[in-house]
Amino acid sequence: MTSQPGPDFLRVEGLAKAYAGADGRPGPTVFDQINFEVHRGEFVCLIGHSGCGKTTILQVLAGLERPSAGRVLIEGRPVGGPGLDRGVVFQGHALMPWLSVRQNIAFAVRSRWPGWSPREVDAQVTRYVEMVGLGSAIDKRPAALSGGMKQRVGIARAFAIEPKMLLLDEPFGALDALTRGTIQDELLRICAETRQTVFMITHDVDEAILLADTILLMGNGPQARIVEVVRNTMPRGRQRAGLHHDPQYYRIRNHLLDFLVDRSARFSHGRAPARPPEVRPGLDLELSPEARAALQG
């Protein structure tokens, strides 16, 4: 069991993104007024329909995209570009096919610690390869690995640089259910050992309930916003096999599904909610100003 999340680590303030159209003029705003915080050691999942800008938000956090407005602060310092303080894992593994598992991860480790000796680099690589259960495949190239094994290598590479924050963009979306479950369990175990801060995008409600301390719910675009923040009231140390036995599980799951099926569209640009968002008993829920106004009026 890890300690509870610590003080604010990442702060997102007034984030907005609009892409230029073919005529060079600003196009529709994908998302607008995105505000949230991530505490040190916290696992946060972001859920929303396709097109609301989830991946773009993650890319802004990673420093791979520049926002049209707003800012991202990590430990009080603005994010202005990519950095080794953030490890990123995308749905595609992005491994260099001509290098072995060992060499792929060593490349990242040497970038992080250029003064390390070959022995120090190899020790770091071996530690994290074994942590994801791939010790026997450490000298294989990606072509010899299954899709699930490649994603494990990507996770090991991200952890091996010991980032302050791990950014995951639906890293298990292309995997079969059994492999996805196994890697989810590995991720939980590693995060418990390292007390890693994680921001993850997912479409899988059950995945979010299993992994996350906090779940951010986005309305539909354009001008999408985070309209609900759900705190996972199920204690850490959650186990997949026993998840559905906890009475809180169904309250949280039904609330998330109801949002995706019904409520998310009520907060799309230019549409007022048809009825107040439902706050279900047993949920620790925060509402955006739009949702709160709807609830009060």
| All structural domains of the chain | 8-85+163-296 (3.40.50.300), 86-162 (no CATH)
Q: What is the pLDDT of residues 147-178, one digit of tens each?
A: 888 988 988 898 899 899 999 998 887 777 87
**Quick check: 128 pLDDT over 60?**
yes
Cβ atoms of residues 152 and 159 within 8 Å: no
Task: Note whether 258 and 238 are within 8 A (CB).
Answer: no
pLDDT given at position 245: 85
Q: How much is the mean pLDDT over the chain?
A: 84
Name the pLDDT band for 58 (thresholds 50, 70, 90).
Answer: very high
The set of long-range contacts for 184-193, using a CB threshold of 8 Å and a minimum separation of 24, is 184/210, 184/211, 184/240, 185/240, 186/131, 186/132, 186/133, 186/152, 186/155, 187/155, 187/211, 188/238, 190/131, 190/132, 190/155, 190/159, 191/2, 191/43, 192/1, 192/2, 192/236, 192/237, 193/131
Q: Which residues pair with 8 in a beta bridge?
A: 39
Beta bridge partners of 78: 73
Predicted model pTM: 0.84
Instruction: Looking at the chain, list the stretches that DSSP marks H as alpha helix, in order from N- to C-terminal side.
Output: 54-62, 101-112, 118-131, 147-160, 177-194, 205-211, 247-261, 289-296
- 5 pLDDT more than 70: no
